[in-house]
Chain A
């Protein structure tokens, strides 16, 4: 099993550009989520999905969109990048007893 995979690992954007962060899991988990991690702030939930076709907002959803067309994939879209979105982004899927399986992360810089 590859677990949770994320692409790209690093990305630099200019303000106003859009992009999609990819996330995939091969554990057949229904629950997936996106977090951002900033120094001194810990992990904060952006969006989550409890299954294909179902998504909902987390703590910091503004500026991000998600969709869930399959169980395996959960992409995160930045509509118009802003410097405040400079962060490390983690995708996770949830297994038994709420264990979160995290991807390796995407380090995003918005200039």
Chain B
């Protein structure tokens, strides 16, 4: 069964600290993986996309990694800010014709 598991479920860190969110998937065959950020009361917004051939991709203070062999992805946030407080959702897409598989998200709280 195609599944996406995210960990931890929630995380609290101090402003300025780094953190890493994990996403493990069993979707096969694999096409791409996206990380979305969802601020409270708003819809999710795409942060980055990882395709099969990509290992690392950065978007400002956000760096996503992908290991297609172990079916794992991570989202690393550097020098966290209060505005990083949000839910981060991992979404995996299989080959054409298959549905998107959503993780349940990790809720990050950054405190001052």
Contact = CB atoms under 8 A, between A and B. Distances in A.
A62 B14 CA distance: 43
A92 interface: yes
A53 interface: no
Given A98-B32, A100-B91, A42 B104 contact: yes
Contacts of A103: 43
Give the interface size bracket for B toward A.
20 to 34
A74 interface: no
A90 B80 CA distance: 28
A98 B102 contact: no
A100 B46 CA distance: 7
Interface-central residue, B34, B43, B102, B104, by most chain A CB under 10 Å = B43
Interface string B70-112: 0000000000000000000101010000011011110000000
A98 B98 CA distance: 11
B100 A98 contact: yes
B12 interface: no
Q: Which one of A4, A92, A100, A104 has the highest number of Cβ atoms from chain B below 10 Å of its Cβ?
A: A100
A97 B49 CA distance: 8
Contact of A45 (B89, B99, B103): B99
Contacts of B93: 98
Contacts of A45: 99-100
A102 B44 CA distance: 6
A99 B50 CA distance: 11
Contacts of B104: 40-42
A42 B32 contact: no
Interface of A: 4, 40-45, 58, 90, 92, 97-100, 102-105
